[in-house]
Amino acid sequence: MRTRLTWIVAILTLVLLGVLMACSTKYTSSSNGLVVMPSQGSLVMQTFSLDISNGRMSQINNVDGPPTPGLPTAVILDPAGAFAYVIVTQNAVVPTGGVTGIATFPIASDGKLGTAATYPLSNAQVQVQVQVSGVPTIETESVPVTPVALTMDSTGKFLFVANSATSDSSGNSVPGSVSVFSIGSNATLAEVAGSPFVLPVGGVNLLPSLLQNPCTVQVGCPSPLALAVTSTAFPPLHAYCSAFNAPTTENLYVPDSIGDTLLNYSVSSSGTLTLVPTQTNLGVPTGAVPDGVTVDPCNRFVYVSNGGPGNNANTVSAFTICSTLTQPNCPSPDFRLLQVNNGVPFPVSPGNSPGPLAVDAYGSFLYVVDTASGLVSQFRISPTTGSITALTPPFVAASLGANSIAIRSDDSWVFVADLGPPAVISQYSINLATGNLAGQSPVQTFNYPSGVAVK
Q: Identify whether 277 is preceded by a cis peptide bond (ω within 30 of 0).
A: no
The Cβ-side half-sphere exposure at 12, using a 13 Å CA radius, reads 6
386-408 confidence digits (pLDDT tens) = 999 999 999 999 988 999 999 99
Are 127 and 206 in contact by the 8 Å Cβ rule? The answer is yes
Task: State the pLDDT at residue 418.
Answer: 95
Task: State the pLDDT at residue 11.
Answer: 38
Stated as kind and residue range, the H or E segment containing 321 is strand 315-321
Does residue 455 sit in helix, strand or coil? coil
Task: State the pLDDT at residue 128.
Answer: 73
421-432 confidence digits (pLDDT tens) = 899 999 999 999
Q: Find, among 318, 369, 375, 368, the residue nearest to 349 by Cα.
A: 375
CA distance 205 to 198: 10
CA distance 415 to 429: 9
Are 416 and 426 in contact by the 8 Å Cβ rule? The answer is yes
CA distance 183 to 271: 10
What is the per-residue burial (b if ≥16 Cβ within 10 Å, else e) of 17-36? eeeeeeeeebbebeebbbbb
Are 425 and 37 in contact by the 8 Å Cβ rule? The answer is yes
**Positive or negative torsion for Cα 144, 150, 152, 153:** negative
Following DSSP, what letter does each residue of 194-228 receive, concatenated? T-SEEPPBTTBPPPGGG-S-SS-TTT----BS--E
CA distance 424 to 391: 25
Dihedrals phi, psi of 9, to nearest 5 degrees: -60, -40
Task: State the pLDDT at residue 205.
Answer: 42
288-325 confidence digits (pLDDT tens) = 899 999 999 999 999 999 988 777 788 899 999 998 88
Query: Which residue ranges does the chain devote to CATH 2.130.10.10?
Result: 225-397
Task: State the pLDDT at residue 333.
Answer: 83
Q: Which residues of the chain have pLDDT under 50?
A: 1-25, 203-213, 349-350
CA distance 258 to 36: 31
Dihedrals phi, psi of 120, to nearest 5 degrees: -75, 165
Q: CB atoms < 10 A from the CB of 140, how many?
A: 10
Q: CB atoms < 10 A from the CB of 434, how many?
A: 13
CATH number for domain 225-397, candidates 1.10.3720.10, 2.130.10.10, 3.30.465.10, 1.20.1250.20: 2.130.10.10
Task: State the pLDDT at residue 280.
Answer: 66
Task: State the pLDDT at residue 451.
Answer: 97
Are 346 and 315 in contact by the 8 Å Cβ rule? The answer is yes
Contacts 24+ apart (CB under 8 A), 307-312: 307/353, 307/354, 307/355, 307/371, 308/352, 308/353, 311/287, 312/287, 312/288, 312/342, 312/343
